[in-house]
Amino acid sequence: MRTRWIFAASTLLYLAAGTWLSAGNGFLMGDALSRVSATQATLFSRDPHLSAIGFVFTPLTSLAQLPMVAFAQWFPGITTWGLSGVLMSALFMAGAVVMVFGIGTDRGAPLWLSGGVAVLFALNPMVVFYGANGMSEAPFLFCLCWALRRLIRWMRTDDANDLTACGIALGLAYLTRYDALAPAAAAGALVFVVAYRRCRGEDNRWHSAIMDFILVVLPVAAAFVVWAATSWLITGLAFQQFSSQYGNSSILQQSSSSATETTAALEYSTAATLILGPALPLLVPIVTALAVRRRDTQVVVPILLCGSVLAFQAFSYASGSTFAFLRFYVAAIPLAAVLALQVSPVRGFPPSRRPGRHAKTAATEPEPDRITGRHRVRTGWRAPAVGMALTLILLAGAVPLTAWGMSSHAISVQEYSLGAVLFPDPDNASERRADEHRIAATFSTERRLANYLDAMNLPRGAVLMDTVYGFAVVVASHRPDQFVVPSDRDFVRVLNRPAERGVKYILAVPNTGRGTSDAVNRRYPTMYENGSGIATLALEAPNDGAGQPEWRIYRVLGAD
């Protein structure tokens, strides 16, 4: 019953915050909006089909929105304001809160500690923001926390059900974000070592370790192979994120970004981790020392799994294959929360359908009594309540530090503009506040373009465009079928002969930066400058948003 209330309250919090940000203030995240657009394309585009969901991003975030987007015909705000993404992230992030609370109850921690840590996790400003904006961080955190809970539980129960659930969670995490391969590898290695050591002296030692290893990595391997094979069969590219003109690698090249100097990259990664987990420098040594004293091997699970995510992001940024985004280090938040719970000693036995042969049914391992020297089983609390209370206070003190870090332009390039929405100040004419307003106004021009095109009452397939930037126009429109976009199976044929295929207008962006990957620019390199001899300029729209192009609408020559 408690978990239901925690889930419901968290969902309502994130849903309310997301609705206020998006529909109330027009604050929309690009990746979240593009996923809404991809989901919309599978149902309401000019050529609806499931593969229109795209293969640059992994599919879980978009697939989870399909049931909500299906109602967009009756409630247009579901797509035009990205509310399907808001509801998706709210549900997943609420699930992550429940998992954090469950890790505490599985451990037998006091209710006030489990509940307090869950509340502080739920109210962390990064958790609230990414539980409300439709990004992939929410489902990723849910899957990561789910995997943590079941693997920690398996360390005591030796239950194959826990191991299988952990593998499924990691498989779903991969279908949310590619960096889930790092915790999957860490989990597989840990399970193999633990299972091998448990079977010391047994003839089937290697077989048992390998079987447990397969249980945890098979779902991830299946997700990896099936998604890559599906992408290859449909698009000819197995990993579009890395080889497609729309993937991160291409975006970095188009933005003239290169590998960051190693020292600077490590400094940024360290700073981002400490901003999201300010308590970690104290929690890690304290919990490690307690674990050694108690012989508590469960502590290694969050350190390995969350630590592998953080290490992967640091390496990716240093090698120039990803961006300096604070959200990529969000695994520091559940790491700190789980370590805070592990200050409490193990008590009782977690739920288990079928404990294995190596289950640890006692609360902890025997240790000699300090006075008599005799061995006894510890069933009481080893860490005093004051120690757990201080840990909770430490975790609470980290929340305002994270909020402060999110307001830093140097390290939080995607989050710091929230200041313009949360703390409006019409009298503030500083350059920083103007920049915040530009970021907050991102996609406002695209919304006006969509309204302009909708008002023209154009027929189906009358507007040709790429979705490199244009996804925001499509998703804001009440008539998505008026656009011809790359996910349409006849897009190339229409692009080659737009007038003959019924196209009346072409949306063009500058052939620079990311615009070089725009399909219209690749086919007609001078379209933005002069219409490439096939169209005349009808409208030019300067952009109010940060990082968005100056739009031009060209009318196709020979169009009726």
pLDDT value for 545? 85
Place of tokens 């592990």: 342
Beta partners for residue 484, in sequence order? 464
CA 532 from chain centre, in angstroms, equals 40
User: Burial level of 111, CB count in 10 A (0-12/13-18/19+)?
Assistant: exposed
Q: Are 506 and 465 in contact (CB under 8 A)?
A: yes
> Which residue type sits at 136?
S
Amino acid code (one letter) for 458: L
Q: Measured between alpha carbons, how far is 394 from 124 in angstroms, rounded to an integer? A: 13
Output helix, strand, coil percentages for the chain, rounded to the nearest 5. Answer: 65, 5, 35
Within its chain, how far is the Cα of 338 from the centroid? 19
Helix (H) or strand (E) holding 484: strand 483-484
C-alpha separations of 36 from 77, 99, 365, 392 in Å: 11, 26, 51, 38
For residue 380, what pLDDT is reported? 41
C-alpha 146/C-alpha 160 separation (Å) is: 15
For tokens 């920083």, the residue is 432
Residue type, 292: V
446: which 2 tokens? 């695209």
**SS3 of residue 295 by DSSP:** coil
Tens of each residue's pLDDT in the chain, 560 residues: 789 999 999 999 999 999 999 999 999 999 999 999 999 999 999 999 999 998 888 999 999 999 999 999 999 999 999 999 999 999 999 999 999 999 999 999 999 999 999 999 999 999 999 999 999 999 999 999 999 999 999 999 999 999 999 999 999 999 999 999 999 999 999 999 999 998 887 778 888 899 999 999 999 999 999 999 999 998 888 887 776 666 566 666 666 555 568 889 999 999 999 999 999 999 999 999 999 998 999 999 999 999 999 999 999 999 888 888 999 999 999 999 999 999 999 988 888 888 888 888 765 444 444 444 443 444 444 446 878 899 999 999 999 999 999 999 889 988 988 988 888 888 787 888 888 888 888 899 999 999 999 999 999 999 999 999 999 999 999 999 999 999 999 999 999 999 999 999 999 999 998 899 899 999 999 999 999 999 999 999 999 888 899 999 999 998 76
Give the phi and the psi of residue 361 in degrees, each rounded to 5.
Answer: -75, -25
**Considering the entire predicted model, what is its pTM?**
0.93
CB-neighbour burial class of residue 378 (10 A; exposed 0-12, middle 13-18, buried 19+): middle
- What is the spatial distance between Cα 335 and Cα 307, in angstroms, rounded to a whole number? 8
3-state secondary structure 129-160: HHHHCCCCHHHHHHHHHHHHHHHHHHHHHCCH
Is the separation of the CB atoms in 254 and 516 below 8 Å?
A: yes
SS (H, E, C) 233-284: HHHCCCCHHHHCCCCHHHHHHHCCCCCCCHHHHHHHHHHHHHHHCCCHHHHH
Supply φ then ψ for residue 508, to 5 degrees: -120, 145
Tokens coding 344: 């409490």
